[in-house]
Amino acid sequence: MNNIETNAMEMEKVKMFSEKIATVKNELAKDVVGQGEIIDNVIIAIVAGGNVLLEGVPGVGKTRLVRSLGKVLSLPFSRIQFTPDLMPSDVTGTNVVEKDENGRLQTKFRPGPIFANLVLADEINRATPKTQSAMLEVMQEHKVTVANKAYKIKEPFFVLATENPIEQDGTYPLPEAQMDRFMFKLIVNFPSSDDLVDIVKMTQITMAETAQGVLNGDEILAMRALASSVPVAEEVLRYTVNLVSNTHPELENTPSSTKKYVKYGASPRAAQGLITAAKVRALMCGRYNVSYEDIDELARPVLRHRIKVNYTAVNDKLGADDVIGLIIKETKKVR
């Protein structure tokens, strides 16, 4: 195949990207009512290769969304219900002693529920820190080490974790190191009245999930590779870096709002995650370059779980999203 033909195929793939995304969204809409922004961001994270933390009250469709997503993406789905008594080996798997065909005892690794392409870690904040830390390696490196032996997890691999913001008793807040492994933190809000009406109507008919698979893992990987080639202008890159730097109050020239409201800033993973996700978003929007708008739109999902606001912000009734909004406003002035 000559270069011209290769290029033509590549261009065809790029053009098909947004069509495929639209197909995925349409299919998901059959099982999940509303939550358009959540679905967009989840798709972005999956294509970008990131993990997502979903926070919302019970019954807003977090689990249903992830399950439907697994079906639509034709990915083996696994659900882990985290409880305080859950052990790390319950997640990663463990070696068991078995008799072989000759009757001799041998140890065999029995993989845990983590060995799937799409893992739903339900109520992850209920697990003990020890169990939570078991997720760290797999989320970052996509492999599990048991008895000094590493077991690779098949790509694509995503962890979609959920958190219940209401229950505080018997929960263990996720450590910053683990929070940093999530590309996005998405707040699943209570559905609107119209959406709730549709949900009730639909579930009265059937509770079954009717979405069909329209994508597979290889296609997702191909889309990921395609998205990574989206060009980013130097100005946009600098803006992204400035935005993340401006979340650090200890640095010079940071905005006054940062110095006033932020205790800890975001890690460099935030900048990486922003650019990676922005590329996917650009393609989803039918563009072939990253814009400031992509960065601004993805700033809150990427940064809200990575910065820590101080008591001044709490006193002023400002949450992480509000503070991020102020930082964006200040950073925009110099672009």
* Residue numbers at the binding site for another protein (CB under 8 A): 6-7, 10-11, 13-15, 226, 229-236, 287-293
Q: Between 91 and 230, whose beta carbon lies closer to another protein?
A: 230
Residue 45 vs 236, nearer CB to another protein: 236
14 vs 202 by CB, closer to another protein: 14
- HSE-up (13 A, CA, CB side) for residue 270: 29
- SS3 sequence, 62-97? HHHHHHHHHHHCCCCEEEEECCCCCCHHHHHEEEEE
Backbone angles phi, psi at 105, to 5 degrees: -80, 135
- Minimum Å gap between C-beta 42 and another protein is 23
- 93 within 8 A of 110, measured Cβ to Cβ: yes
Specify whether the backbone of 212 is left (phi greater than 0), alpha (psi in -120 to 50) or beta: beta
Closer by beta carbon to another protein, 85 or else 235: 235
The amino acid that residue 260 corresponds to is K
What the block records as the tokens of 198 is 């549709």
Q: Shortest approach of another protein to residue 233 CB, angstroms?
A: 4
Nearer to another protein, 83 or 291 (CB): 291
Residues 249-261 as b/e (b if ≥16 CB within 10 A, e otherwise) read: beeeebbebbebb
Q: In 3D, which of 227, 213, 212 has the Cα closest to residue 13?
A: 227
Q: Which is nearer to another protein, 153 or 237 (CB)?
A: 237
Nearest distance, CB of residue 291 and another protein, angstroms: 4
Cα separations (Å) of 33 from 55, 105, 123, 281?
A: 17, 52, 22, 22
| Residue 220 CB neighbour total at 10 angstroms | 23
Rounded least distance, CB 17 to another protein, Å: 10
- Min dist CB 44 to another protein, Å, is 17
User: Closest CB to another protein among 60 and 236?
Assistant: 236
Rg (CA), the chain: 21
Q: What would the 3-class secondary structure string for 248-272 be?
A: CCCCCCCCHHHHHHEEECCCHHHHH
d(CA 93, CA 105) in angstroms, rounded, equals 19
Q: Provide the minimum distance between the beta carbon of 237 and another protein in the complex, in angstroms, as a whole number.
A: 10
**Closest distance to another protein from the beta carbon of 306 (Å):** 25
| Closest to another protein by CB, 1 or 147 | 1
Please state the closest distance from residue 206 (CB atom) to another protein, in A: 41
